[in-house]
Amino acid sequence: MRETYLKKESRENKQLPKVKINQMRQVNANGLLIPALGQGGWRIGDDPARAESEIAAIRRGIELGANLIDTAEMYGGGRSELLIGRALRGIPRDKYILVSKVYPHNADRNNMFKSCEASLRRLGTDYLDLYLLHWRGSVPLEETVWCMEKLVREGKIRRWGVSNFDTPDMQELWQIPGGKNCAVNQVLYNITSRGIEYDLIPWCEEHNVAIMAYCPLAQAGSLRRMNVDVRTEPTIAAVAQKYGATVMQVMLAFVLKKSCVCAIPKAGSVAHIEENVAATQLEIADEDWGMLDCVYWPPSCKMHLDIE
Ligand code: NAP
């Protein structure tokens, strides 16, 4: 078993526990194994002054086993894919898992193949591990699935999935020829937004579709749900303090509790990615999860899918 220890001096926060990083837990995405913790790519590459820090974070994350990188043709109009392509240069292709997403209006016979080629070019690779429909648009699902399956046959993508699909969308997808080959559903999930626990997570678990949690850190507090700023809310802070962890680590540990869920927090510095990877080792007792449940109630009825 590979064992890596986080270098103490590279952490910003000296409160962090000395966490031993073992082999990253893998999530089964309909036969494709993906790491429980990956890295988000939204807003990466937007600020040239942050580029070197972002590149270093991506490379460090891969070293630590957080080797799934998520991006989209939408992000910065291709800037995210370009920056990620730069970060991956020189790393053997089988050492990371690349995910990109196609705009709904490009997810048809006329545009999807060109979109995929453009993403591959920006990323500097000849295949994607996962290609996702970013959200549902007006193109019939049958047509998008047909294109995805053709891309798989052509070796341009290994597998495909969807994003921002609620349970009825997944049920509809399952009725379409080839629809059952969907490997992941990327959706918003964090402790302040738990609606998918009611029906979508159980449905995906039953059908071997991995949930890829986006905004798992509630954008470090700037994404407000339940009127909560997670940076200052006292219950998470108390649990974090008890375990010598940070609030962001407790946020991640929450999302990673379920075996069919992986998370893709965006980290723009080595310190942040190291802190996030260390969270995969955090074991929080049931009584403390119970305390958090009292503030962040699990859903008791169907809720609308939360979307950012
Ligand atoms: P997020 O991952 O919840 O939060 C990102 C923010 O958290 C950044 O400001 C980052 O700052 C900060 N951060 C990361 N690690 C931290 C740490 N250890 N301590 C303190 N702050 C930390 O939000 P997100 O980027 O919106 O979502 C994650 C990814 O999901 C995106 O990047 C994207 O790939 C994907 N996504 C998909 C959809 C969709 O519709 N499919 C929608 C939204 C997002 P630094 O940059 O300074 O590290």
Distance (angstroms) between ligand 1 centre and the Cα of 217 equals: 6
Q: Is 127 helix (H, G, I), strand (E, B) or coil?
A: coil
Mutate to test the pocket of ligand 1, among 133, 185, 215, 308 (most ligand atoms within 8 A of CB): 215
Mutate to test the pocket of ligand 1, among 166, 217, 256, 269 (most ligand atoms within 8 A of CB): 217
CB half-sphere exposure, 298, CA atoms < 13 A: 10
Distance (angstroms) between ligand 1 centre and the Cα of 60 equals: 16
List the residue whose alpha carbon is closest to atom 27 of ligand 1: 215
Backbone angles phi, psi at 21, to 5 degrees: -95, 115
Tell me the per-residue pLDDT of 240-256, one tens digit each, with 9 for 90 and over: 999 999 999 999 999 99
List the residue whose alpha carbon is closest to atom 25 of ligand 1: 266
Closest CA relative to residue 291, chosen from 261, 250, 252:
250
- Of ligand 1's listed atoms, the one at least distance from the Cα of 271 is 18
Tell me the per-residue pLDDT of 255-292, one tens digit each, with 9 for 90 and over: 999 999 999 999 999 999 999 999 999 999 999 999 99
Instruction: Give domain limits for the chain.
Output: 23-293
Sign of CA dihedral 293, 295, 296, 302: positive
Q: Is 132 helix (H, G, I), strand (E, B) or coil?
A: strand
Residue pair 197/298 in contact by the 8 Å Cβ criterion = yes
Mean pLDDT of 5-15: 39
Residue pair 132/151 in contact by the 8 Å Cβ criterion = no
Closest CA relative to residue 160, chosen from 148, 147, 146:
148
Distance (angstroms) between ligand 1 centre and the Cα of 124 equals: 23
pLDDT tier for residue 3 given thresholds of 50, 70 and 90: very low
State the Cα angle at 26 between 22 and 27, rounded to 5°: 155
Give the whole-angstrom CA distance, residue 69 versus residue 101: 12
- Which 3-state string (H, E, C) describes 199-263? CHHHHHHHCCCEEEEECCCHHHHCCCECCECCCCCHHHHHHHHHCCCCHHHHHHHHHCCCCCEEE
Closest CA relative to residue 232, chosen from 188, 192, 289:
192
Distance (angstroms) between ligand 1 centre and the Cα of 67 equals: 16
Q: Is 196 helix (H, G, I), strand (E, B) or coil?
A: helix
pLDDT at residue 13 is higher than 60: no
CATH 3.20.20.100 fits 23-293, yes or no: yes
Tell me the per-residue pLDDT of 33-61, one tens digit each, with 9 for 90 and over: 999 999 999 999 999 999 999 999 999 99
Q: Is 112 helix (H, G, I), strand (E, B) or coil?
A: helix
Tell me the per-residue pLDDT of 106-136, one tens digit each, with 9 for 90 and over: 999 999 999 999 999 999 999 999 999 999 9
List the residue whose alpha carbon is closest to atom 36 of ligand 1: 214
- Find the residues whose C-beta lies inside 6 A of ligand 1: 40-42, 70, 134, 163-164, 186, 214-220, 248, 264-269, 272, 275-276, 308
Give the whole-angstrom CA distance, residue 14 versus residue 254: 22
Tell me the per-residue pLDDT of 60-71, one tens digit each, with 9 for 90 and over: 999 999 999 999
- Of ligand 1's listed atoms, the one at least distance from the Cα of 267 is 48
Output helix, strand, coil percentages for the chain, rounded to the nearest 5.
40, 15, 40
List the residue whose alpha carbon is closest to atom 17 of ligand 1: 272
Distance (angstroms) between ligand 1 centre and the Cα of 100 equals: 16
